Structure 1
Amino acid sequence: MLLRAAGYGNAHAAFARQLNHAGRKHGTWRYDAASVYWWLRGRRPAEYVQATMTEVFSRKVGHPVAVVELGFTAGNVDVHVPYPASAAQAIDSAEQLWTMLTKHFSPQTNVTFDSANALQAAIAWRYDLPDETLSRSGRQPVTAGDVQSLYVLAEHFTDLDRRHGGGSPHIRALMASFLVRQVSPMLHGTYTDAVGRDLMRAAAMLAGQLAFMSYDAGEHAVAQQHLTIALRLAKAAGDRLYGAHLLANLATQAVYLGHARDATRLAEAAIDGASRTPAAVRARLYTAAASAHGRSGERRACQSALAKAERALDRADLDTSPSWVNYFSPAHFAGTALRCLSDLHLYRQALRHAPEALALANQNARTRALHTALIAATHARAGDLDAACGWGRELTRRTPDVRSARVRHRVQELVTMLSAHRALRQVNELMLALGTPPPK
């Protein structure tokens, strides 16, 4: 092992200090013994950090050391890296994951959502001490104006996601390439503490958006890792509201994948950690809690969370709310209420929310498809096959322009519910329209 050969076998802190000194041309590094600990367990530092490591080892062992000898493999990325202990580690983890996506490396194929890591991330986000300073001396100067351009681009990617779904690999690859080429150098640049915190917030929003796109595409392990990194960047920024929103997204993913009990804990941690919040944010957080309770079959807790969300939404003032929560409308709340009440087998109550669930802005194509599929499935669960088929036909008009694993999943749920009734003409016609061939 190179650490032992170089005399650092039991002196990981000393190696980290030498690395920080050798890397001063890249800016102020703050690696320590904990950084070495995680590198030894699979975390892969940025490529220029690896190059500097070879310089340190070469001087100590007396002969050139190649990067390949360090043992880091670009394509073998553990997407279940824990919540980063520092902002610097979050930056390195982000760059590692973004680079993987631009090079089309696949994460480990035998992993999906990790509840234990999600809950550990929630605890660390809620209770770890805030970062003292984020000022940095690095490779390029970063100004407040540079950071503002990132917010504009984040809105652009968000709009693409809502219109077309996260299932387009081209859009995700484009976003990952932008993060590697533009955002990563800024994170390693020179900035004041104030600019640094704003930069961390912008990076958190971009990582959070790529996480949601990955979740919508069915890449759940990658989505979770992006959410974990984004959560740590939001922590560094001191933005508890956006951190709580990310944690609620993690809860939403957990509900989707069947981890309802853990989703409840994540949603409650988001509500607790957000502390005093604008009404619009509070409404969004309570809907995440309602979804988790509904999937767990906890009727009283679910209905209580829905009531709190509805009251908060009635008081929401978008002029005083963070811009990222402005998407959350009465239609989004209605869609959540429809799903929750359907999970609780309260179909008549659920369908009362159907008209409002479709009162969406034109750009929300994916959400409209999701809500349409949900309305059709709820009618099917309630035994009204005519209505289910009617809404199913509407769904066939909503799905062609949307690439989303979640929409495909909802369509498949509807097909499964109706398959026992295929002898009926309207059911068979709908099944054919949805691309399901007749049984042989």
Structure 2
Amino acid sequence: MASSRAVPNLAFRRLRARRSPGEFAAAVRRAAREIGEQVACDARYIGRVEAGEIRCPNYAYERVFLHMFPGLTLEDLGFAPREHVRGRAPRATMTTATDRVAAVNGRNGTGSPGVTGETGENGETSEESDVLRRAFMTSGPVTVVAASLGLGGTAAAAVPTPRRTPRLVGDAEVMAVEAAVRRIRLLDDRHGADGIYRQAAQPLRAAYALLDSGTPARQSTADRLHAGAGELSISVGWLAHDSGRFDDARSHYAEALATARMANDPEVEAHAFANTSFLAKDSGRYREAVRTAQAGRRAARHLASPRLLSLLALREAAGWAKLGERTDCEQSLSRAHRLFDRGPSDADPEWMSFFGEPELESQVALCHAALGDWSRAARHAHRATALQNPHFVRNLALYRVELATDLARAGAPDEAAAAGHQVLDLLDVVQSSRIHTRLAATARVLLPQRRLPEVGAFLDRHGSTSSRA
């Protein structure tokens, strides 16, 4: 936990060597998968470890780090002994079901970084922090999401509203907001948006209640709280977007943008504009997609993150493609590639962990598809599926459905049907209206080719799946 007594962890920094925090975080995630753990490690988490803010990792991270560096102990890695960090027993009144759920998540490796099992230096957890955890960790109307949280599908009681009387806001509250963001992103990667949108709105309300009623102890705490609330609003907006609730998504993105501007936070502002551009494109407002991507580029120009600028160039390219402006689209795509090729940076925002080469290829494919270049689109979509880590099931399903659509329109029905079967294989795990809608569109394109055995089998299976949905 962040503290004025934090001492930089130089031993851990030496182990990172010449890798950037983002690259090292990726290595941590790979090591976790090797031993069956799942940790939402990112550049910000690595930075907090190196700054000494995380004095001892949770049990999932401990297992991963000891796997990465066999023969070393936590102390060798620069961490304090666990009993020194968590030696004080929490008050009996805080031994709640929420705490037990958090402990289970930590043992199962599903806890978010810097959250599971953590309490304040005095062993207490604030009311708002507990509300935020309870809101997201114990609400589970969808069985697959609840199971992933270790809840066995049990729905929680109603979440109490945070109190409105002024109070001092510290690290525990801010970390709970940041944890909710990470947990939403992790579940979205695994399952898609449909099953978690409603429950994700609960911690969002609690976060903005903190902004309304809290008095941060320090300016740095206030900045983190605003950034966390803005990112949480964007994350919930994305869930709305991906599940087809475009009006809700637009409202959440606008709220995030307002929060970012009030706090003078260009990183959150650029993120809000990037998502708003994506939404505008999906909503048929193509010139708005271009303008908001350009606004995001202006917000991000001093952030020293070529990858962020690359993503914004892709958002702009998508708008131009939908407008049929081939030259402008190609110029934006060229800029996106040049910026991407500069590689990752320590300044890359945490939320951009999804933006690797598979996502780049997928976005390029969408641009060529919008321009009617179906064969080129299929080549890029195939590359996206080949490069995508299968751990990120939602994205893999999305790339495969894009490939199926492109192949169907490029005149390769058998290959399109095969890709469609691969999407259907993932739909028991993934719940995304966007994927279902695109797969249905692919089926309609393939309908005239129904007599082909592969196509007929896909259409029959898709029809059966759709009737059960």
Alignment of 1:226 with 2:252, yes or no, is yes
Structure-1 residue corresponding to 2:278: 252
Query: CA shift at 1:371, angstroms?
Result: 0.9
After superposition, what is the alpha-carbon deviation per residue over 1:133-189, rounded to whole angstroms, capped at 9, x for unaligned? Answer: xxxx96211014431332122111111011111101xx2232222233465235411
Query: CA shift at 1:242, angstroms?
Result: 2.2
- Whole-Å separation in 2 of the counterparts to 1:408 and 1:374: 11
- Whole-Å separation in 2 of the counterparts to 1:427 and 1:227: 40
- Whole-Å separation in 2 of the counterparts to 1:185 and 1:437: 43
Larger radius of gyration between Structure 1 and Structure 2: 1
Query: What are the within-5 Å matches in structure 2 for residues 187-336 of structure 1?
Result: 187-191=212-216, 192-277=218-303, 278-336=305-363
Query: CA shift at 1:363, angstroms?
Result: 3.7
SS in 2 for 1:434: helix
Worse-superposed segment, 265-274 or 382-391: 265-274
Alignment of 1:159 with 2:186, yes or no, is yes
* Change over 3 Å in CA distance of 1:157–1:437 after alignment to 2: closer
- Whole-Å separation in 2 of the counterparts to 1:287 and 1:322: 17
- Whole-Å separation in 2 of the counterparts to 1:243 and 1:182: 18
Alignment of 1:185 with 2:210, yes or no, is yes
* Change over 3 Å in CA distance of 1:361–1:316 after alignment to 2: same
Structure-2 residue corresponding to 1:150: 177
Structure-2 residue corresponding to 1:426: 454
- Whole-Å separation in 1 of the counterparts to 2:441 and 2:451: 18
- Whole-Å separation in 1 of the counterparts to 2:226 and 2:426: 37
- Whole-Å separation in 1 of the counterparts to 2:384 and 2:461: 24
- Whole-Å separation in 2 of the counterparts to 1:329 and 1:421: 35
Query: What are the within-5 Å matches in structure 2 for residues 27-42 of structure 1?
Result: none
AA in 1 matched with 2:422? E
Structure-2 residue corresponding to 1:91: none
Moved over 6 A (4+): none
- Whole-Å separation in 2 of the counterparts to 1:148 and 1:187: 17
Structure-2 residue corresponding to 1:61: none
Contact 1:140 1:186 in 2 (8 A): no
SS in 2 for 1:300: helix
Worse-superposed segment, 259-268 or 369-378: 259-268
- Whole-Å separation in 2 of the counterparts to 1:166 and 1:375: 21
AA in 2 matched with 1:326? S
Q: Which has the higher contact order (CA 8 A, sep 6+)?
A: 1
After superposition, what is the alpha-carbon deviation per residue over 1:108-138, rounded to whole angstroms, capped at 9, x for unaligned? Answer: xxxxxxxxxxxxxxxxxxxxxxxxxxxxx96
- Whole-Å separation in 1 of the counterparts to 2:203 and 2:299: 31
Alignment of 1:346 with 2:373, yes or no, is yes
AA in 1 matched with 2:192? G
Structure-2 residue corresponding to 1:414: 442
Structure-2 residue corresponding to 1:403: 431
Alignment of 1:435 with 2:463, yes or no, is yes
Q: What RMSD over aligned residues (CA atoms) do the two structures have, in Å?
A: 2.4
After superposition, what is the alpha-carbon deviation per residue over 1:314-354, rounded to whole angstroms, capped at 9, x for unaligned? Answer: 11324332212122111101000111112112223223323
- Whole-Å separation in 2 of the counterparts to 1:177 and 1:269: 30
Contact 1:187 1:199 in 2 (8 A): no
Structure-2 residue corresponding to 1:378: 406
Contact 1:341 1:347 in 2 (8 A): yes
* Change over 3 Å in CA distance of 1:318–1:430 after alignment to 2: same
SS in 1 for 2:336: helix
Stretches of structure 1 lacking an aligned partner (at least 5 in a row): 1-97, 105-136
SS in 2 for 1:190: strand
After superposition, what is the alpha-carbon deviation per residue over 1:171-208, rounded to whole angstroms, capped at 9, x for unaligned? Answer: 22322222334652354111244322221110001111
Stretches of structure 2 lacking an aligned partner (at least 5 in a row): 1-134, 142-163
Query: CA shift at 1:290, angstroms?
Result: 1.2
Question: May I ask how many residue pairs the two structures share in their alignment?
Answer: 303
Query: CA shift at 1:380, angstroms?
Result: 0.9
- Whole-Å separation in 1 of the counterparts to 2:429 and 2:186: 14
- Whole-Å separation in 1 of the counterparts to 2:339 and 2:292: 20
Contact 1:231 1:246 in 2 (8 A): yes
Identity %: 26
